Amino acid sequence: MTNLLLQDPFTVLKEYPERLTQTFETPLQTCCVEFSHGGDYLAMGCSNGAVILYDMDTAKPIAMLGNRGGGHVRSIQSIAWSKDDRYILTSSRDWYVKLWDLQKPGVPARQVRFESPVWTCQWGGPFDLGCIATVYEEEYAFSINLTPETPVVAKICDVYEYLGEDEKESEENEELEQQDFGYTLVACVHPVWKEILITGTSKGWFKIYRISDQKVQLVHSYRFAYSNAKHMIISQSGDRVAINSSDRTIRQYSLTANFELTEFNFALEHRYQDVINRLQWNSIRFSSNSAEYLVASAHGSSARDLYLWETSTGTLVRVLEGAEEELMDIDWDFNHMCITSNGLETGNVYVWSLVIPPKWSALAPDFEEVEENIEYREKEDEFDQVGQFEQQQELDQAEEVKIDLRTREKFDVRGNEINFNRFVIPLDYDSILMLKHWDK
């Protein structure tokens, strides 16, 4: 990302994209989008169950999950990339959660079948290679251990929630049982406190679980609304949570906890509503780190834009225009500072990014770009004769500073980690050859 160091710093450090720059006209109807963590690839989940990976450098498809068999057969609900971008988790309305190893994207590496459509699937949980899934009309979320060849699925629920009536003793637990939370629809593993899972239910509850070895504990519950949760997001720093519910409101909370992670507190910061049209929100997404911005897509054929708010004040700061249709899923690539969203009608995928103007002065060294004419004034030392000896001495001095040719930069100028090698999808030489012979 060295290019950022050489571009106009004022443009580079803008915190959100500005203009529609790219439209992918995919042959299939895209219904969910997800950038890889490095921003090199964009995964598009389609309504027929296909998942296509696009290379963002060339804007061309580079791989298709399950093109050698074993792909999904119904609409994709969610896509999640692993931290190193090597594995992908997909969940679908065909009742399956599938794990893909991009070393061999043609066939799924693992798959789990549930008893109904799967809403979401996310990395995390108590296992090294594990995930958390939420399933249609299920009271609890599921944790899946993907390490064994046949993945092991377990319900995530507190013992007290699960026990029969007569086994209950303390009053506190009785209270717990009486409370009907409804079905679990969304679940997010906390990005900082890895053992904390926050779920959102169909009756408008947040439930916070602590998952330790062999034990699941419901540590906190909080009612945010009287309608069902649609999406939940947690900021990278972990102290901000937003929930989109079907009562046409996005609620943004600041989440705090005590040191032992036994007590939690949700404090409502803002509610985002469309007061005029009373639109529902389709999808929401935070910006990086401490989530200074929140972006959302609106439901309904009259809405064609993405709305971007500043989270500290709750004010609308930008409307991302350009798409000609209602927008559905959203993802934000922090490395390249672009936001993508898919259209409902055409299934096209739109990308908004920063437009960095060319710096013409870079072509001619010692030239400077000025906004307007400046009257020339000779600088005090401009034509001073510097002795050759002194000049040489200065150059020699510059060459004594220690240089480090090996150590890579840890963070880019935007604060994203760039210190490790992300997985590169291998080129599929077979298909190149196949296409070549096709042409002939």
Partner 1 sequence: MGQFQLIATVKQSQGSKQPFTAAKISPNGQKIALCNGPDIEIYDIHEKTSVLLSTLHSRPLSDLCWSPDSQCVATASDDFTVIITHVAYGELHRLVGHTAPVTALKFTHKGNLLCSCSMDESIKIWDTLTGSLLRTLSAHSEPVVSIDIPPHDASILSSGSYDGLIRIFDTATGHCLKTLTYDKDWQSENGVVPISQVRFSVNGKFLLVKSLDGILKIWDFVRGKVVRTFISGESNSLRYTCGMDFLYPAQEADDPIVVSGTETGEIVCWDSQTKQLQHRIKRKHCGNPVMDISCHGSLMCSISLCGECNLWTWVDSESTA
Which residues of this protein are in contact with partner 1, per CB under 8 A?
Answer: 1-7, 40, 55, 57-58, 60, 62, 356, 358-359, 362-366, 395, 398-399, 401-409, 418, 421, 424, 426-427, 429, 432-433, 435-436
Q: How far is the CB of 246 from partner 1 (least distance, A)?
A: 40
CB 221 within 8 A of CB 202: no
Q: How far is the CB of 69 from partner 1 (least distance, A)?
A: 22
CB 74 within 8 A of CB 49: yes
For 389, the 3-state DSSP assignment is helix
Q: How far is the CB of 26 from partner 1 (least distance, A)?
A: 16
Is 275 or 398 the residue whose CB approaches partner 1 more closely? 398
Q: How far is the CB of 57 from partner 1 (least distance, A)?
A: 6
Q: How far is the CB of 418 from partner 1 (least distance, A)?
A: 8
Is 28 or 413 the residue whose CB approaches partner 1 more closely? 413
Residues facing 327 on adjacent strands: 343
Is 22 or 290 the residue whose CB approaches partner 1 more closely? 22
CA end-to-end span of the chain, whole Å?
A: 40
Neighbouring CB atoms inside 10 A of 308's CB total 21
CA distance 143 to 153: 6
Is 82 or 283 the residue whose CB approaches partner 1 more closely? 82
Is 41 or 140 the residue whose CB approaches partner 1 more closely? 41
CA distance 79 to 32: 8
Of 233, 230, 175, 225, residue with least CA distance to 203: 225
Q: How far is the CB of 381 from partner 1 (least distance, A)?
A: 15
CB 296 within 8 A of CB 250: yes
Is 319 or 427 the residue whose CB approaches partner 1 more closely? 427
CA distance 53 to 24: 12
Residues facing 250 on adjacent strands: 244, 272
Sheet holding 19-24, edge to edge: 19-24, 349-353, 338-343, 327-333
Beta strands, E only, 146-275 = 152-156, 184-189, 196-201, 205-212, 215-223, 229-234, 240-245, 249-257, 264-272
CA distance 433 to 416: 37
CA distances, 358 to each of 296, 361, 362, 363 (Å): 31, 9, 9, 10
Structure tokens at 337: 């500072």
Q: How far is the CB of 324 from partner 1 (least distance, A)?
A: 26
Is 164 or 358 the residue whose CB approaches partner 1 more closely? 358
Is 256 or 421 the residue whose CB approaches partner 1 more closely? 421
Q: How far is the CB of 55 from partner 1 (least distance, A)?
A: 6
CA distance 108 to 100: 5
Q: How far is the CB of 83 from partner 1 (least distance, A)?
A: 17
CB 176 within 8 A of CB 195: no
Tokens 């959302």 belong to residue = 296
CA 52 from centroid of its chain's CA atoms: 17
Q: How far is the CB of 406 from partner 1 (least distance, A)?
A: 6
Q: How far is the CB of 416 from partner 1 (least distance, A)?
A: 13
CB 306 within 8 A of CB 330: yes
For 16, the 3-state DSSP assignment is coil
CB 225 within 8 A of CB 204: yes
